[in-house]
Amino acid sequence: MNEKDVFVVADNVLTPLGKTTAENFSKLKQNISAVKLHHNTNISSQSFYASLFHKDESFIKNGKGYTKFEQLLIASIGNALQNSGVDAKDKKTVFLISSTKGNIGLLETEINNAELQKRIALSTSAKLVSAYFGFVNQPIVISNACISGVLGIMTGMRLLRSGQYENAVIAGADVISEFILSGFQSFQALSAQVCKPFDKSRNGLNLGEGAGTIILSTQKKHPQNIKVMGGSVSNDANHISGPSRTGKELGYAITKALQDAALTPGDIDFVSAHGTATIYNDEMEANAIGLSHLQSVPLNSLKGYYGHTLGAAGLIESIISVQSLKEELLISTKGFEETGVTSSVNVINGNLPLKARNFLKTASGFGGCNAAVVFGK
């Protein structure tokens, strides 16, 4: 492969657990979860488990004119850029935003007119955030359900490999609104407790708020850094909200991602699963992992700590997994006790010291979309 190597230069995870990647990883090591029982009548008449920021929490010094969603992005990007050596104003730097729902919550508080429609558009948020940092290239918006974060990383990787850019700043965020919560309630997809990925008694997911930023570069001054090795996407063409029953399509994405990375299943040391803790997603994902010959590889899901952070999930979970590579420690799957999927997978339920070289990150979402990306030392 004569394509350029793509290095991870800097990152940030901003969640109710902490404002930096280091703070988040420290809490995860202590098995601390941000998922709690909430009684917020503005969002739901019923109590619900989720990972949410405090109502009055501020994210940037002067947030006037920016929504909570945009403030999260700005705070996360600002922290990641700080010591990265990457210049937002460089024409060789591209900026990507990943989100599932962006500012959709404004529909609940503002008058729905042409002006609001423009304000809600993800392109509007992208332009505002881009202008805040002075990015010179037009921002790229990635919104493909719950694979948005992973797809953002892959898109950045491909743009850098092509030689079009030398640096990519990829940020993702989502905030939980009544619209989003009621949507998942209508699917009866929410758990009445902290979620239990891949567990026999799993009964649904928790939602979460958060942001993540990863900065990638092909510049030769970063050769000691972890690389984005390869990635692939696929689609089930199965159902608007239900995943494939066989897992073949996610399996296809995993196989193609490994090929793109020039690796075999035997080279993968752990899997960071999507692991939403819904009956069908976990079953499908376990099938896909089995079909990809990764059933004995240690696997975790972070949804029990963060809930499902939608468009930010793939970024947050990839960054935590990069940190696992650096610290040689794989974080446990909170809530998992007894296997409840048909295809056997090696879900870990305690922190695992692990000298790993490569890991696989998977994601799946509504509309049948699947994504897989490989990182390595």
Instruction: Give the integer Cα–Cα distance in Å for 364 and 377.
Output: 25
Residue with tokens 């975790």: 300
Instruction: Give the integer Cα–Cα distance in Å for 291 and 289.
Output: 5
DSSP codes of every residue in 43-107? T-SS-EEEE---TT---SS--TT--HHHHHHHHHHHHHHTTT---TT-TTEEEEEE-SSTTGGGG
* Domains along the chain with CATH numbers: 7-217 (3.40.47.10), 227-376 (3.40.47.10)
**What is the token pair recorded at 279?**
């009956």
Instruction: Give the integer Cα–Cα distance in Å for 251 and 268.
Output: 14
Question: pLDDT tens digit string along 307-364?
Answer: 999 999 999 999 999 999 999 999 999 999 999 999 999 999 999 999 999 999 999 9
Percent of the chain exceeding pLDDT 70 equals 99
pTM of the model: 0.98
Instruction: Give the integer Cα–Cα distance in Å for 370 and 62.
Output: 38
What is the mean predicted confidence (pLDDT) over 218-239?
Answer: 90
Question: pLDDT tens digit string along 84-112?
Answer: 999 999 999 999 999 999 999 999 999 99
pLDDT value at 203 more than 90? yes
Query: 329 - beta bridge partners?
Result: 353
Which residue type, as a one-letter code, is found at position 83? N
**What is the token pair recorded at 49?**
């488990």
User: β-pairing, 36-38 with 7-14?
Assistant: unpaired
User: β-pairing, 358-365 with 369-376?
Assistant: antiparallel
Question: pLDDT tens digit string along 149-193?
Answer: 999 999 999 999 999 999 999 999 999 999 999 999 999 999 999
> Which pLDDT band, with edges at 50, 70 and 90, does 278 fall under?
very high
Instruction: Give the integer Cα–Cα distance in Å for 348 and 80.
Output: 30
pLDDT at 102: 97
CA triple 203-204-206, angle to 5 deg: 140
**With helix as H, strand as E and coil as C, how does 288-308 read?**
HHHHCCCCCCEEECCHHHHCE
Residue 339's φ and ψ, nearest 5 degrees, are -55, 130
Which residue type, as a one-letter code, is found at position 332? S
Per the CB < 8 A criterion, the answer to whether 26 and 15 are in contact is no
pLDDT value at 2 more than 70? no
If you ran DSSP here, which 8-state letter would residue 38 be given? E
pLDDT at 1: 40
